[in-house]
Amino acid sequence: MHFKDQSNFLRKMTWKRTLNGFLLLSSYLWSKLTKSPKIWGKPIAIGFEPTTSCNLRCPECPSGLRSFTRPTGMLEKSLYEDSIEQLKDQLLYLTFYFQGEPYLHPNFLDMVKYASKRKIYTATSTNAHFLNPEMAEKTVKSGLDRIIVSIDGTTQETYQNYRIGGKLEKVLAGTKNLIEAKKKLKSNTPHIIFQFLVVRPNEHQIDEVYEMANALGVDEVRLKTAQIYDYAQGNALIPTIDKYSRYRDNGDGTFSIKNKLLNHCWKMWHSCVITWDGQIVPCCFDKDAEHPMGSLKEKSFDSIWHSSGYTQFRKALVHSRSDVEICKNCSEGALV
């Protein structure tokens, strides 16, 4: 984190959230050691899905490809607010993103404001096509702490190679609008991040995206490696620059994941994702909600978080993570 963003984040800490984090970490380390999953505390981070709808058609994205088996819809206000009330004392970090474009939800910024008033750090990821001057000002006023702007090319030709249906000029205009709104309202938030998904068609523009961000006044640039679903026999999106690829070229025309699937995953203890229709799924790699742990329309968060089904899922991870389908193409998780 950059200093201002980090300071803002730390201001959200309370003794309850600190204690909860300690309990979660302790239970995770105990579970790693004993191979018997225990969970003490509630998640410190939650991903909320405002909608599965999206205006773009990006490859490697279930939302863009319209390849979901689960329905498309919008998160209901009552479901969202009830969930926040159950979690607000322990919850530190709230991401308004899973699949879809958050700004397509008509009440997205009202949801941000609701969490911000409860001193929860809020973040979102957007393709920035809807950040006109009015929406940019509303974004700043909502109290949103961080916004990730997906910018996967510095020219329209390269950008549209991945962001199919998108206009780079709209991304840049939306970013400018947001920066102007921050200046007008004399606000340090949201912290603006240009996220550059490195794929073969844009890898030659890495230096240029830093220059572009600096010229605009963007707070930070992050390079992100791409998750490729059909990677085993090679893929036109896999970068030629090895450090930006999640996959190892085996030299015989095949590729394999670099990341070792260690039998533990911090994500399963400190976070989860809630879909637009209230299903709790274990992490952001379960894009089609193939591992639903329970519905918040039917049960409380606590009863799902500590359920036997969730315990069995965590147990499977600490015994053989490679046997869990959503873990096989995972490049993160086992970090602690």
Cα dihedral sign, 314-318-320-324: positive
**Beta carbons within 8 Å of 243's beta carbon, 6+ residues apart:** none
For the chain, the residue count is 336
Q: What is the pLDDT along the chain (336 residues), one digit of tens a residue?
A: 688 999 999 999 999 999 999 999 999 999 989 999 999 999 999 999 999 988 888 776 766 556 667 888 999 999 999 999 999 999 999 999 998 999 999 999 999 999 999 999 999 999 999 999 999 999 999 999 999 999 999 999 999 988 888 999 999 999 999 999 999 999 999 999 999 999 999 999 999 999 999 999 999 999 998 888 788 888 989 999 998 998 889 989 899 888 777 777 889 999 999 999 999 999 988 888 889 999 999 999 999 999 999 999 998 888 877 777 777 767 654 333
Which secondary-structure segment (H or E) carries 250? none
Amino acid 335: pLDDT: 35
Amino acid 65: pLDDT: 56
Which secondary-structure segment (H or E) carries 140? helix 133-142
Report the candidate in 225, 233, 326, 219 with the shortest Cα–Cα distance to residue 283: 326
Distance CA 57, CA 131 (A): 19
Residues 224, 185: contact at Cβ < 8 Å?
A: no
**Beta carbons within 8 Å of 98's beta carbon, 6+ residues apart:** 47, 48, 49, 273, 275, 284, 287
Amino acid 333: pLDDT: 42
Half-sphere exposure of 168 (CA within 13 A, CB side): 16
The residue behind tokens 């109290």 is: 143
Amino acid 260: pLDDT: 74
The residue behind tokens 């939306």 is: 174
- 37, 39, 43, 44: CA torsion to nearest 10: -100
**Beta carbons within 8 Å of 33's beta carbon, 6+ residues apart:** none
Residues 68, 288: contact at Cβ < 8 Å?
A: yes
Question: pTM here?
Answer: 0.93
Report the candidate in 96, 104, 91 with the shortest Cα–Cα distance to residue 45: 91
3-state SS assignment for residue 74: strand
